[in-house]
Amino acid sequence: MKISFTTLGCKLNFAESSALGKALLERGHTRAKQGEPADICVINTCTVTDAADHKDRQMIHRIRRQNPDAILIVTGCYAQLKPDEIAAIDGVDYVLGQNDKFRLPEFIEKLEAAKQQHTELSKIQTCPIREVDDFHGAYSKDDRTRCFIKVQDGCNYFCSYCTIPIARGKSRNPSIGSLVEQAKEAIQNGAKELILSGVNIGDFGRSTNERFIDLLKALDGLAISGERLADYRIRISSCEPNLLSDEIIDFVANSQHFAPHFHIPLQSGSNTVLKIMGRRYTRELFAERVAHIKSVMPHAFIGVDCMVGVRGETDDCWTEYVSFIESLPVSQLHVFTYSERANTRMLEMDLYVVPQKERERRSKQLHEISARKTEAFYREHEGYETTVLWESSKKDGRMYGFTDNYIKVSCPYDRAKVNTFERIVVPRQDSADIPTDTQE
């Protein structure tokens, strides 16, 4: 059967869709080409905000219009949280929860058998997320040079505003040994950059009694047949500040293959709001982490997750938040606007509610700060000698790549450079060429 995948949300979702697609190919199915009608359309959803839910619904309607005769299966986080809501959408045939998603190949076989036997399967296939203990590995190579490796899933934190623990389940992970084998396989298949992905990757080791730092050390020394691999680099995706220890920062600073690039969720620059949100750190701890990174890696790129407009974020809290963000030597902000989510503790609190227009204004203000900080980071590194990994994309006769500290650069297209490392001096760039996309 011809199957199409549409994936929304985080890189973890993309890695999982890639793994499912590979499993289906191994069972004799084919991937529908761009614009080609599919027999089965799979939509892997996100539910981090109301805006994400809205995009999911828009995509469901669009895919149904484009494939009127296909079987449409919706899965992912939105499917786990609101299966009945999705099942009620016109055109949806089946809804698979977070764990049932990984049984997609078997489910399709059941569909084929049911068709022959003239029987029907239940439209909704889910199980309580807290009953899920299995870890389903995944890695995906994008159309450039990167490979996203899933090293952890789930979260035990239950922040007051967040539904991810009830969409993804408890924190769990595979063994270091299995991830080392995945990483070596990815490199042997041509990947030059590995990105460690998960829901709360700093919590790695909960299932296997191992430590995140030990995973990093193992991946920094990959070897095949006793010969150490040299031609690769690794980035760490978002890591909670209370889990990003000085030991980890110092290791990255002195490692062979880890890039000087960090993404750290802050969410608020007000200790009052951080406490309301149920975060496990203070702004002082966050500032210490940033300062330590810059002390041992002055050229490091630091991206920061920021949420605006949560309940309890008074004008005074917002002023404190902005002042704190301005003071940090960070490189870019990833801005989320708060939306009320069912089944979260924040809705049970008697707190100041930020008006929607004010949420939008605050989001715009942080986007402007982010643009200034990113341009300042780029300007600071003009003339800096570093290494770039060139990608395959081509636009107006030029090719693009990212330096180890995540500066996007370009040069005249040269096919021989694709997926290779090169030492360069960072050039001056027009402001219009500096990436400014800081939205989810």
| pLDDT tier at 296, thresholds 50, 70, 90 | very high
How many angstroms separate the first and last alpha carbons of the chain?
33
pLDDT above 70 coverage of the chain, percent: 98
| Span 320-344, average pLDDT | 96
Q: Break the chain into its structural domains and give their ranges.
A: 2-127, 134-380, 385-433
Residues 139, 148 contacting (CB under 8 angstroms) = yes
Q: Which residue has the higher pLDDT, 161 or 118?
A: 161
Residue 128: its pLDDT value, please?
86
Question: Can you tell me the distance from the alpha carbon of 101 to that of 45, in angstroms, rounded to the nearest whole number?
Answer: 11
Q: What is the mean pLDDT of the chain?
A: 94
Question: Looking at this protein, which amino acid is placed at residue 216?
Answer: L
- Burial of 88: CB neighbours in 10 Å, binned 0-12, 13-18, 19+: exposed
2-127 topology per CATH: Rossmann fold (3.40.50)
pLDDT tens figures, 4-19: 999 998 889 988 998 8
| pLDDT tier at 51, thresholds 50, 70, 90 | confident
Residue 115: its pLDDT value, please?
86
| pLDDT tier at 231, thresholds 50, 70, 90 | very high
Task: State pTM to two decimals.
Answer: 0.93
| Span 67-73, average pLDDT | 95
Give DSSP secondary structure letters for 12-57: HHHHHHHHHHHHHHHTT-EEPPTT---SEEEEEE--SSHHHHHHHH
Residues 352, 313 contacting (CB under 8 angstroms) = yes
Half-sphere exposure of 101 (CA within 13 A, CB side): 34
112-121, 202-211, 349-358: least confident range: 112-121
CATH number at 134-380:
3.80.30.20
pLDDT at 225 over 90: no
Residue 389: its pLDDT value, please?
97
| pLDDT tier at 132, thresholds 50, 70, 90 | confident
